[in-house]
Amino acid sequence: MQDCPGPSLTLQLPSLALEEDFYRMVREYRKAGESYDTLLEPLLDHLPTYLRRVDQIARGISLPVGIVQQTLFWLVRDDKSIVAMGRLRHYLTPALEKEGGHIGYTVRPSERRKGYGTLLCALLIQEARNRLGLSRVLITCDSDNIGSARIIQKNGGCFENEVISDWSGKPVSRFWVSTTPTPSTIYRL
């Protein structure tokens, strides 16, 4: 039987190597009325500037108020196309403990419903264990964000409670996820 490999999907640190695809992706988000990165939206038209700031934030340098040290990752298909972006916050503040958590992600609009959100979340959980030594992570989502809630559940999320967002006034669901993979997590993925 002939081998039929699927696309390669890798977690990568943002870099200039995918500059053209990055601008295509930013345009795609804007066309969809969304932002790829609300925190750094003004920098998205110049990738080198954006990368410098991303790197500073990863090192904890000149952090904006309320923002903690965090590492950004791209999920990249076949070394050519950015299909999703995830952020791993290195620690929680009381505000992030309520809403935000350790992990956030967004999937490029044209790449949704293909399993990339689930895969990216799984890889970020591994990074939390391997890079930061965390035994569990908090992930939160708007309670009406069915896709995100499903991603968290498929990654072994254990529902903690629902709170009301200080920002939107909407219900937010909070989940804790063990960073040690279990057979049932692997099976669900």
Ligand X SMILES: CC(C)(COP(=O)(O)OP(=O)(O)OC[C@H]1O[C@@H](n2cnc3c(N)ncnc32)[C@H](O)[C@@H]1OP(=O)(O)O)[C@@H](O)C(=O)NCCC(=O)NCCS
What is d(CA 166, CA 95) in angstroms, rounded to the nearest whole number? Answer: 9
Instruction: Determine the Cα–Cα distance for residues 88 and 154; give it in Å rounded to an integer.
Output: 18
Nearest CB to ligand X, comparing residues 90 and 150: 150
**Smallest distance from the beta carbon of 185 to ligand X, in angstroms?**
13
- Closest approach, Cβ 3 to ligand X, in A, equals 25
Binding stretches for ligand X (CB under 6 A): 104-107, 112-118, 141, 145-148, 150-151
Neighbouring CB atoms inside 10 A of 166's CB total: 10
Tell the smallest beta-carbon distance from residue 114 to ligand X (Å): 5
Instruction: CB nearer to ligand X: give 107 or 123.
Output: 107
Residues belonging to the chain: 189
Cβ-count burial 26-51 (b if 16+ within 10 Å, e if not): beebeeeeeebbeebeebbeebeebb
Residue nearer to ligand X on the CB measure, 25 or 134:
25
How far does Cα 55 stand from its chain's mean position?
16
In the complex with ligand X, the residue whose CB is nearer, 95 or 146, is 146
**CB 98 → ligand X: shortest distance, Å?**
14
Is the separation of the CB atoms in 139 and 154 below 8 Å?
Answer: no
